[in-house]
């Protein structure tokens, strides 16, 4: 199979092989604390690996091209902990703007942010709209799975609060990089008292500002104790299937009527 890493092409080859319907995929991760059992690169590893698998599987069919991942992003909800490296909102928006400006110099007219960190979501959406207005690019923001604090699912015993370092994320890492997971340090940190709130809650209609330190000294929000590599493998396969379906729509999306 032909390599789909954009950085392995020469500049003339980029001009020759890319076209208006080519989709450039930019994984966005994070470097931030994930409790005592997961590495600080968890979100980066997930975003990059799932993007690689998706582009490998669907790249030829959909004309996908993979960009190097963006590791440092908006993670100041974890800034209290050493090992978290984050950019301000202003800096991240400026970086995204500059990268989008570079994409606009290629023949490709579609840019997809494949986001592995929920703290980036709002800013990626802002950047996507600004780039659309400024450059004419078709811009998109998608996640391997919608984060629980943005309305996505988490296991029932996490009460919808598995937003950081819990069962699903730990299972995924046990599949992707088991050598970096220490299950002897896995624990349950679910803020069960928040379940009494109907509106103000993770994924609820009223959002709230938070830092991971609000919910306990481990910086975890979820239950990692029953995570398994088998569950992680299932989850990764489902994510790649979903991303392929989503990027198929990205590759042909037009907002106006036909």
What's the N-to-C CA distance of the chain in angstroms?
A: 34
How confident is the model over 158-177, as pLDDT tens digits?
988 899 999 999 999 999 99
Helices (H), the chain: 11-17, 42-62, 89-103, 121-135, 167-176, 229-252
Strands, sheet with 23-28, edge to edge from the N-terminal-most edge strand: 64-66, 23-28, 110-115, 138-142
* Mean of the per-residue pLDDT values of the chain: 95
pLDDT-derived band at 2, boundaries 50, 70, 90: low
Which residue ranges form the domains of the chain, and what is each CATH number? Answer: 6-252 (3.40.50.10310)
pLDDT in tens, 173-202: 999 999 999 999 999 999 999 989 999 988
Rounded Cα gap, residues 246 and 252, in angstroms: 10
Distances in whole angstroms, Cα of residue 168 to Cα of each of 97, 175, 233, 244: 32, 11, 11, 20
Whole-prediction pTM: 0.95
pLDDT in tens, 111-144: 999 999 999 999 999 999 999 999 999 999 999 9
Share of the chain above pLDDT 70, in %: 99
pLDDT at residue 153, rounded to an integer:
79
Q: How confident is the model at residue 1 (pLDDT cuts 50, 70, 90)?
A: very low
């Amino acid at each position: 199979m032909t390599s789909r890493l954009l950085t392995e092409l020469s500049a003339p080859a980029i001009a020759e092989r890319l076209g208006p319907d080519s989709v450039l995929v930019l994984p966005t991760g994070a470097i931030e604390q994930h409790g005592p059992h997961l590495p600080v690169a968890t979100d980066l590893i997930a975003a990059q690996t799932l993007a690689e698998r998706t582009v490998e599987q669907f790249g030829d069919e959909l004309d996908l091209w993979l960009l190097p991942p963006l590791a440092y992003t908006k993670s100041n909800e974890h800034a209290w902990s050493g090992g978290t490296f984050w950019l301000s909102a202003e800096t991240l928006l400026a970086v995204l703007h500059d990268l989008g400006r570079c994409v606009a110099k290629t023949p490709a007219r579609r840019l997809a942010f494949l986001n592995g960190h929920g703290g980036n979501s709002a800013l990626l959406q802002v950047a996507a709209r600004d780039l659309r207005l400024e450059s004419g690019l078709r811009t998109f923001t998608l996640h391997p799975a919608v984060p629980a604090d943005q309305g996505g699912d988490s296991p029932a015993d996490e009460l919808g609060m598995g937003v950081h370092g819990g069962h699903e994320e730990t299972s995924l890492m046990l599949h992707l990089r088991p050598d970096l997971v220490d299950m002897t340090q896995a624990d349950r940190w679910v803020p069960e008292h928040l379940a009494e709130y109907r509106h103000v809650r993770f994924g609820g209609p009223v959002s709230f500002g938070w830092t991971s330190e609000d919910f306990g000294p481990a910086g975890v929000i979820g239950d990692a104790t029953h995570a398994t590599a088998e569950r992680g493998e299932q989850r990764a396969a489902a994510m790649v299937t979903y991303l392929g379906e989503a990027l198929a729509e990205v590759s042909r999306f037009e907002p106006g009527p036909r």
